[in-house]
Amino acid sequence: DQQVKQNSPSLSVQEGRISILNCDYTNSMFDYFLWYKKYPAEGPTFLISISSIKDKNEDGRFTVFLNKSAKHLSLHIVPSQPGDSAVYFCAASDSGGYQKVTFGTGTKLQVIP
C-alpha cells in the first residue's frame, strides 16, 4: 500500500507561469513532509520541507502547502523557470527516534521556454 501518492506522473508549464505539484498521503503519523528534486543521472536533492504543525512554508520561488484534514500537500513554484525541469518527489517522515522517509513515485515537471 502506497502511503505517499503522486497521481500526476508529468506536468508541463510555460516559463513564468505557476507550477503546482500535488501529493496525497495516508499515514496520519507522518510529522514532516518534504519535496526533493532530481535531475537525470543525479541523486535527489532536498528542496523544501514543512512540519505537520504548519500549513505553509515558503522559500523564495517555492512554497509548500499542507492540508492535514485532507492529507494533501502541494508544491507551488512561481515563476517557473526552464531550470526547474526535473522530477519532483514528495516524501514524508515519521521521525520517531530514527528516520524512515517514505517517497512518492515522482512527478516529472517540464518548463517550456
Neighbour order of strands in the sheet with 4-5: 4-5, 19-25, 72-77, 62-67, 56-59
Q: Is 95 in the site for another protein (CB under 8 A)?
A: yes
The b-or-e profile of 6-25 (16+ CB within 10 A means b, else e) is beeeebebeeeeebbbbbbb
Per CB under 8 A, which region of 13-21, 63-71, 73-81, 102-110 contacts another protein?
102-110
In the complex, minimum distance from the CB of residue 31 to another protein, in angstroms, rounded to a whole number: 9
Tell which one of 8, 22, 74, 105 touches another protein (CB under 8 A). 105
Q: Which of 26, 27, 51, 67 binds another protein (CB under 8 A)?
A: 51
- 46 counts as binding another protein under rule CB under 8 A: yes
